[in-house]
A and B are shown apart, each in its own frame.
Chain A
Amino acid sequence: MSSAEIATLPESEGFRIRWGDLAPFIALGVIILLGTMINSNFMSANNMLNVITRSAFIAIIGVGATFVIATGGLDLSIGSMLAFVVGIMIMAMNALAPSLGPWAIPVGALVALVVGSLCGLMNGLIVTVGRIEPFIVTLGTMGIFRALITYMTDGGSLSIDRSLRAAYRPLYFGDFLGVPYPVIITLVIALLGAFILYRTKYGRRVTAVGSNADVARFSGVHVGGVRTMAFVIQGFCVAVAAICYVPRLGAATPTTGQLWELQVITAVVIGGTLLRGGKAHIWGTVAGALILEVIANVMVLSDMVSEYLVAAVQGAIIIIAMLAHRFTSSR
């Protein structure tokens, strides 16, 4: 809340710290503190940059997922959709490379954005026009996208043209004034998402629809349109993540993005967005993505946990973080 608004609302409770909203950031702080104690290399600039850069994919997709979940929807297809978009983008770039040279990269990226948005539109229309539960719809499209990428790669891998690799590589590994590009892109996407969600009429309608679709309908809000748009935003965010993903390994495989949907949904929920919709925290989602990545990093850096039990400790930490959240927000 800005100071101007506090002035215009003298009776309001004004700047009151909501512990529930801060919980994901506190949890992130605690885990970072833990990591620092466990291994001195944890706080090294290199390690920090690696971890933050790696979390970009989940964070960017998470911004879109925050919209879908805020409207009361759910998108399980995002991991497969990412792989599919990556595949299409690589094929487009490879096809364009001989004629366009390095310009194939921006054109391919544009293709990715269009394809991603269309994938989201498809999900959204099936959900709203077909009136089918988003869980089932996206479970179906998850299979479709996964099968398509497997088909496109023949079960192997689909690599980007060597001539483009060098020009494209810096988008993941390069930096601007020391800040890696994926981090900058994440910030831009999160800022855009926060602006749309908190400062536009569309965003207001997103939370209204998620909070109570009947109320929205009775108030003349086009509920189907709002929901469909959220899926399109999700598709767009997946495409942005795909654009950052390709320069890292330069290839798509049938396992690309596998189970990312679960990581993304976990990040969104850790971030304080309600799974049943109505309450959305863009920055919480970003924090959630960082938490997941930092936990994984700390697990590797510590020698305390057997490699067989790493997943169990990760799961336990996530549950503890959610319990802490519940505890702080209920009082």
Chain B
Amino acid sequence: MSLAAPDTAPGRTAPAPVLRAESLSKAYGPITVLSDVTLDIRPGEVHAIIGENGAGKSTLMRLLSGHAEPTGGAMAMAGAPVAFTNAVQAEDAGIVLVHQEILLAPDLTVAQNLFLGRELSRLFAVDDRRMNRRTAEVLAQVGASARPWTIVGDLPLAQRQLVQIARALLDDRKVIILDEPTAMLAHDEVDALLDIVRNLRAQGVAVLYISHRLEEVEALADRVTVLRDGKMIGTWPAADLDQRQMAELMVGRELSMLYPPKREPATAEPALTVEDLTVDHGRITGSFSVRPGEVLGIGGMIGAGRTELIEGLMGLRPSQAGAIRVNGTAVAKPGVGALMAAGVVYLTEDRKGKGLLLNEGLGPNLILQAMDMINPRLRLDRKKEAAVVRSAVEDYDIRVRSLSIEAGQLSGGNQQKLLLAKVMQADPSVVIIDEPTRGIDIGNKSQIYRFIDGLVRAGKACVVISSELPELVGLSDRVLVMRGGRFVAELTGGDITEQNVVYAAASSGKDTEGRKRA
């Protein structure tokens, strides 16, 4: 690979750093998770930190924001040495971390959340008027449409993310650290968020931006720092790197192909045909079919009804179907059990909330779904369970320290592989995967893409719902786009491009006729 030299050498004409980390290290006992990171963060720049899961990004963020104390190295703000023992000290100094997870009290209002723990008061009573006014200002600053008195639980996910960012902006900040801010957002919401970040940059705030989505980094960042295995690889001006180079720096090897090559068009009779599926009392309806040897992508904005449609198919929410046929056999009505018996399985997008028993080991998770198939008798066959665990760990490359580990202790990528292994225990002919790689690192991502390719080449049919456009485009042989609870476009072959998907998902649909096919 040919890259420009890392931009770590001082002396270039750049503004003085607002925050500087010098040889920062962190070890837990004998295990070093971050070593020798030296970093400048300048006012008015977007500084992206990229790296695979476990590369040390989160640790670095925690050290910079006072959530953890370094075991080596030093930090300085505007030239003066600083050391934080807790997050409050860092916030007082003007550094704030916006967590990836939504950490808001759902039953309180936006304003109450923003001021939680630092309520303004007049005499002895809280001063709701002043807090609401200030909240409105900050909400406007981040472009959120929520009102100060809205209950947070009533807000869509994306708005909650904005509220969380707004909370970080309540006081004047010098450095804002955003940890995967777009992980939960749909495409247009991501664009809005990127505008907010640009706006912050224009106000002279230093933004530390962590993301798995390299296209965002490319679009947004001024400089990029790459971490790998707890070590600093270097800092480059973003203009010097394209996405492939970033990915290669992260994994430390050349990525020949992130996505497997596309397959020949499938011609066999459909493995799964769904006609007139109606979900949530008519709010969402759709018909689709998928052939063996084919990946059917389902695209659309978050909230378009993609997940709901599939959950309806599986009988996980109120639904009715005109007809469901699996390999030519009719399935009477929607339901996880009936469809699994017919050969259709579904991987939820919410692997922690609905996919895995986080407090249970690998075995109970792996056999939960296909228990009656693995184990036809009443009594559990523990030897068989152990065999299932061993072969799943091997076949799906689930990296575990020990076979008695609990699912919650696995990394996101390994959890996703465990979930895949779990539904595959039912030996399905059709696999429906919702957000196959959400929040997992690039190495595991490409592995999962290869699994999917392998399944399809082995004659199985696969349906992939994805909000990541490159993934949808890179993986699918055919794409259905949903908007407002209806399928509005079908794309095949060369028509499968990010632009076409976005256009169909976002436009009014009047002039999509050219691309729409029966």
Direct A–B touching in the complex (beta carbon < 8 Å)?
A: yes
Residue of B nearest to A11 (CB): B403
B316 touches A217 (CB 8 A): yes
Residue-wise, chain A 280-298 has the 8 Å CB interface mask toward B (1 for contact) of: 0000000000000000000
A217 touches B336 (CB 8 A): yes
Nearest CB of A to B462, in Å: 18
Residue of B nearest to A279 (CB): B359
Q: CB within 8 Å of A: which of B492-514?
A: none
Residue of A nearest to B387 (CB): A8
CA distance A203 to B375 in the complex (A): 14
Residue of A nearest to B401 (CB): A11
The prevalent SS among residues of A at the interface is helix
CA distance A215 to B357 in the complex (A): 7
A201 touches which of B353, B357, B371 (Cβ 8 Å): B371
* Most interface-central of A4, A12, A278 (chain B CB within 10 A): A12
A251 to chain B: which residues have CB within 8 Å? none
Residue of A nearest to B382 (CB): A5
B346 to chain A: which residues have CB within 8 Å? 218
A3 to chain B: which residues have CB within 8 Å? none
Nearest CB of A to B406, in Å: 11
B357 to chain A: which residues have CB within 8 Å? 208, 211-212, 215, 278
A200 to chain B: which residues have CB within 8 Å? 378-380
Judge if A199 is at the interface, Cβ distance under 8 Å: yes
CA distance A199 to B335 in the complex (A): 27
Q: CB within 8 Å of A: which of B300-320?
A: 314, 316
Judge if B402 is at the interface, Cβ distance under 8 Å: yes
B354 to chain A: which residues have CB within 8 Å? 212, 214-215, 217-218
- Given known pairs A204-B364, A207-B364, the reply for A11 and B402 (CB within 8 Å) is yes
Q: CB within 8 Å of A: which of B356-381?
A: 356-360, 364, 367-369, 371-372, 375, 378-380
Residue of A nearest to B423 (CB): A219
A13 touches B379 (CB 8 A): no
Residue-wise, chain A 4-20 has the 8 Å CB interface mask toward B (1 for contact) of: 11001101110000000
B358 touches which of A9, A201, A212, A216 (Cβ 8 Å): A212
B353 touches A214 (CB 8 A): yes
CA distance A225 to B357 in the complex (A): 19
Judge if A220 is at the interface, Cβ distance under 8 Å: yes
CA distance A200 to B375 in the complex (A): 10
Residue of A nearest to B345 (CB): A220
* Most interface-central of B359, B383, B390 (chain A CB within 10 A): B359
Judge if B8 is at the interface, Cβ distance under 8 Å: no
B403 touches A9 (CB 8 A): yes
Judge if B337 is at the interface, Cβ distance under 8 Å: yes
Judge if B475 is at the interface, Cβ distance under 8 Å: no
B402 to chain A: which residues have CB within 8 Å? 11-13
A215 touches B336 (CB 8 A): no
Interface residues of A toward B: which range? 20 to 34
B372 to chain A: which residues have CB within 8 Å? 201
Residue of B nearest to A211 (CB): B357
B368 touches A219 (CB 8 A): yes
A278 to chain B: which residues have CB within 8 Å? 357, 359
Nearest CB of B to A223, in Å: 11
A9 touches B386 (CB 8 A): yes
B380 touches which of A201, A212, A221 (Cβ 8 Å): A201
A208 touches which of B316, B368, B403, B404 (Cβ 8 Å): B368
CA distance A256 to B91 in the complex (A): 60
Residue of A nearest to B346 (CB): A218
A221 to chain B: which residues have CB within 8 Å? 368
A8 touches B353 (CB 8 A): no
Nearest CB of B to A104, in Å: 34
CA distance A135 to B402 in the complex (A): 39
Judge if A326 is at the interface, Cβ distance under 8 Å: no
Judge if A131 is at the interface, Cβ distance under 8 Å: no
B364 touches A212 (CB 8 A): no
Judge if B348 is at the interface, Cβ distance under 8 Å: yes
A218 touches B355 (CB 8 A): yes
B364 touches A208 (CB 8 A): yes
Judge if A205 is at the interface, Cβ distance under 8 Å: yes
A5 to chain B: which residues have CB within 8 Å? 382-383, 386
A219 touches B336 (CB 8 A): yes
Nearest CB of A to B372, in Å: 7
Nearest CB of B to A129, in Å: 16
CA distance A126 to B251 in the complex (A): 55
A220 touches B369 (CB 8 A): yes
A215 touches which of B368, B383, B403, B404 (Cβ 8 Å): B368
* Most interface-central of A201, A202, A204, A215 (chain B CB within 10 A): A215
B368 touches which of A4, A199, A214, A216 (Cβ 8 Å): A216
Nearest CB of A to B432, in Å: 12
Judge if B340 is at the interface, Cβ distance under 8 Å: yes
A205 touches B371 (CB 8 A): yes
Q: CB within 8 Å of A: which of B61-102?
A: none
Residue-wise, chain A 205-245 has the 8 Å CB interface mask toward B (1 for contact) of: 10110011011111111100000000000000000000000
CA distance A9 to B391 in the complex (A): 12
B379 touches A199 (CB 8 A): yes
B383 touches A8 (CB 8 A): yes
CA distance A207 to B365 in the complex (A): 11
A219 to chain B: which residues have CB within 8 Å? 336, 368-369, 422
CA distance A152 to B150 in the complex (A): 55
CA distance A9 to B403 in the complex (A): 7
CA distance A150 to B5 in the complex (A): 88
CA distance A8 to B404 in the complex (A): 12
Nearest CB of B to A276, in Å: 11
A220 touches B336 (CB 8 A): yes
Nearest CB of A to B336, in Å: 4
A207 to chain B: which residues have CB within 8 Å? 360, 364
* Most interface-central of A204, A219, A278 (chain B CB within 10 A): A219
CA distance A219 to B350 in the complex (A): 13
Nearest CB of B to A192, in Å: 13
B355 touches which of A4, A205, A211, A215 (Cβ 8 Å): A215
B375 touches A222 (CB 8 A): no
A12 touches B404 (CB 8 A): yes
Residue of B nearest to A195 (CB): B379
Nearest CB of B to A165, in Å: 40
A12 touches B368 (CB 8 A): no
CA distance A203 to B357 in the complex (A): 15
CA distance A8 to B340 in the complex (A): 30
A8 touches which of B316, B367, B378, B386 (Cβ 8 Å): B386
**Besides the contacts A204-B367, A207-B360, A218-B354, what 9 more A-B pairs have beta carbons closer than 8 Å?**
A8-B383, A11-B403, A199-B379, A212-B353, A212-B357, A220-B335, A221-B368, A222-B337, A279-B359
Q: What would be 6 A-B contacts, judged by CB atoms less than 8 Å apart?
A: A8-B386, A204-B380, A207-B360, A207-B364, A211-B360, A218-B346
Interface residues of B (CB under 8 A from A): 314, 316, 335-337, 340, 346, 348, 350, 353-360, 364, 367-369, 371-372, 375, 378-380, 382-383, 386-387, 389-390, 400, 402-404, 422
